[in-house]
Structure 1
Amino acid sequence: MKKYALTLDLKDDPTLIREYIALHENVWPEIKSSFSRSGIHDMIIYRFHTRLFMLIYTEDDFSFEKKARLDQSDPQVQKWETLMGGYQQSLQDGNPDEKWQLMEEIFNLRDSEEI
């Protein structure tokens, strides 16, 4: 199993943030199914003010390219992504064409050497 950490920012509007959270309390079943089809086993999103942090656990052969291809051919995923785009914004230093930015792991206690 692989894991990935990603981040993005929400638009700094309390009403939009509340709506975004409410939508994630009832994610559409088609969206949940799309995660499974792409090889995602679990997904957790955390928020601090406007900053989001997403942790995903995937099959070993998962790829973001495969997920993107599957998402492009799924009208419900496209509808969800368009809806989410009204709440999300790219990071200031990130790729403007991508909302979620892959984060680099810099420390893992489990893998660190004992002192």
Structure 2
Amino acid sequence: MKRYCLTLDLKEDQQLIAEYDEYHRAVWPEIIASIRNSGILHMEIYRYQARLFMIIEAEDNFSFERKAALDKNNRKVEEWETLMWKYQQALPGARPGEKWLPMNKLFSLEEY
């Protein structure tokens, strides 16, 4: 199993943040299905103010490139991503259209 940690910022607007939270209390079933069908086994998103942190645990053959290809052909996923971009903003250093960015692991207690 692979683990990924990613980060993204929301726009600094309390109303938009509240709406974003609300959408994530009732994620569309098509989005849940697309996540599971891509090989993601476990996903959690945490928020501190406008900063988001996502943990993904996926099958060994999972790839973000394959997920992107599947999503590109899924109208509901494209609709969801367009809607979410209303609330999200790119991190400094992100390329155009890039949202969630991978984080580098700095420390693991298990290694000690």
* TM-score of the superposed pair, with normalisation by structure 1: 0.94
Structure 2 distance, partners of 1:81, 1:104, is 24
Q: Report the residue type matching 1:16 in the other structure.
A: L
Q: Give the equivalent residue in structure 2 for 1:46.
A: 46
Structure 2 distance, partners of 1:6, 1:18, is 21
Runs of 4+ in structure 1 displaced over 6 angstroms? none
Kindly indicate whether residue 81 of structure 2 is the aligned counterpart of residue 90 of structure 1.
Answer: no
Structure 1 distance, partners of 2:94, 2:74, is 26
- Deviations 1:31-53 (CA, angstroms, capped at 9, x unpaired): 00000110001110011110000
Kindly report the root-mean-square deviation, in angstroms, between the aligned alpha carbons of the 2 structures: 0.8
Structure 2 distance, partners of 1:42, 1:63, is 14
Structure 1 position 96, deviation (Å)? 3.4
Structure with max Cα Rg = 1
Q: Report the residue type matching 1:4 in the other structure.
A: Y
Structure 2 distance, partners of 1:46, 1:65, is 24
Aligned length: 112
Q: Give the equivalent residue in structure 1 for 2:73.
A: 73
1:8-23 to 2 correspondence within 5 Å? 8-23=8-23
* TM-score of the superposed pair, with normalisation by structure 2: 0.97
Q: Give the equivalent residue in structure 2 for 1:60.
A: 60
Q: Report the residue type matching 1:10 in the other structure.
A: L
Structure 1 position 92, deviation (Å)? 1.7
Unaligned runs of 5+ in 1: none
Q: Is the 8 A contact 1:95 1:101 kept in 2?
A: no
Structure 1 distance, partners of 2:96, 2:6, is 15
SS of residue in 1 equivalent to 2:106: coil
Unaligned runs of 5+ in 2: none
Structure 1 position 106, deviation (Å)? 1.1
SS of residue in 2 equivalent to 1:76: helix
Kindly indicate whether residue 103 of structure 2 is the aligned counterpart of residue 103 of structure 1.
Answer: yes
Q: Report the residue type matching 1:51 in the other structure.
A: R
Q: Give the equivalent residue in structure 2 for 1:7.
A: 7
